[in-house]
Amino acid sequence: AAMAEGSSVAFGQVVIGPPGSGKTTYCHGMQQFLGSIGRKVAVVNLDPANEAVPYRCALDVAELITLPDVMESLRLGPNGGLIYCMEYLEANSDWLQEKLAALRGHYYLFDCPGQVELYTHHRALKNVFAQLAKWNFRLAAVHLVDSHYCTDPGKFISVLCTSLSTMLHVELPHVNVLSKMDLIEQYGKLAFNLDYYTEVLDLSYLLDHLASDPFFRSYRRLNQKLVEVIEDYSLVSFVPLNVQDKASMRQLMQVVDKANGCCFGEQEHRSLEALMSAAVGADFHFTSTLGVQEKYLQSQDKAVEEEVMEL
């Protein structure tokens, strides 16, 4: 029987973000991490361009449609082809419903395409998420952003705009993630402490920082208006993530469990203490960022020591 309205609640994540942000790596790492703590996980690949995925794939959209086939048969480019694939998936939601019904009792990770416009204004994938909600899926959107954008103030403002637009369009409980934190020291030194970027603090400092660049100086009024929009909504913040660090994965899991309601469900047996620790917001958020910041500063100090030794 297909999963339908009135059936048992299923929890999960839709993993979104631009190409190269680490979505597939995240799904692989989270599958392994959740499996190690006893949670039954099913990874669903919704990206028709994904090939040779590293994780155990319980359901693959390639069984329904693939991007190379669409591009060849309809003579579309990769972007147009991907949009067609998502519209085709939306039109064949009964196929998805039937396949997901066979995986009942799992925690779901949906590995989604990386095309940004799918999450900012195109409606096909948003409608698929809405359909999942009607089938009693309780999902949180995990939006991955490469942490290297923090090292460039102009790019970071663009990322904030994209994140805000995605949050407003997708209409799911939303967790923004700065991925690849283990590589951030390779991208260059941060202008401010990490919590400035994760909590999206007073962005006027970013505008002052941009003023030193002749190119951005002429666009100061535009950047100022963009910053005002971001601050007026007051929605965007980030959770730092190193997918190879178990403590970092556990902290993100607690944030997502709170967002989709899994920590209040019966997915796992939880003591009152564990339940409350997952439900707490600000204190946990601060300490998790503090831990990553400390590792980042240590790596900076080590790099300076190595330079001194070479001299």
**150-177 per-position pLDDT tens digit:** 988 889 999 999 999 999 999 999 999 9
Give residue-wise pLDDT tens across range 268-287.
544 445 545 555 444 445 55
Look at residue 110 and tell me if it is in a domain: yes
Look at residue 4 and tell me if it is in a domain: no
pLDDT at 306: 61
pLDDT at 290: 61
Q: What is the CATH number of the domain that holds 38?
A: 3.40.50.300
pLDDT at 82: 96
Percentage of residues of the chain with pLDDT beyond 90 = 70
pLDDT at 307: 59
pLDDT at 308: 55
CB neighbour list of residue 158: distance below 8 Å, 6 or more residues apart: 149
Q: Are 178 and 239 in contact (CB under 8 A)?
A: yes
pLDDT at 198: 94
**DSSP structure class, residue 303:** H
CA-to-CA dists, residue 18 to 36, 162, 166, angstroms:
28, 10, 11
CB neighbour list of residue 262: distance below 8 Å, 6 or more residues apart: 11, 107, 138, 256
pLDDT at 185: 74
- Please compute, for residue 58, the number of CA atoms within 13 A of its CA located in the half-sphere on the CB side: 22
Give residue-wise pLDDT tens across range 39-67.
999 999 999 999 889 999 999 999 999 99
Look at residue 51 and tell me if it is in a domain: yes
Q: Are 174 and 162 in contact (CB under 8 A)?
A: no
CA–CA distance, 249 with 174 (Å, rounded to integer): 17
Domain count, the chain: 1
Look at residue 307 and tell me if it is in a domain: no
CA–CA distance, 117 with 261 (Å, rounded to integer): 28
pLDDT at 271: 46
pLDDT at 48: 95
Look at residue 211 and tell me if it is in a domain: no
Beta bridge partners of 196: none
pLDDT at 5: 47
| Look-up of token digits 């994780």 | 55
Look at residue 175 and tell me if it is in a domain: yes
Mean pLDDT by 10 residues, the chain (311 residues): 62 95 96 95 96 93 96 96 97 97 96 96 97 96 95 92 97 96 83 91 90 82 94 95 94 95 66 49 54 63 60 59
Q: Angle, to 10 degrees, between the axis of helix 246-260 and the axis of helix 272-279? A: 90
Look at residue 152 and tell me if it is in a domain: yes
pLDDT at 1: 44
Look at residue 76 and tell me if it is in a domain: yes
CA–CA distance, 165 with 147 (Å, rounded to integer): 19
Residue 254: which domain range? Answer: 10-200+236-296
pLDDT at 2: 45
Dihedral pair phi/psi, residue 187, rounded to 5°: -85, -15
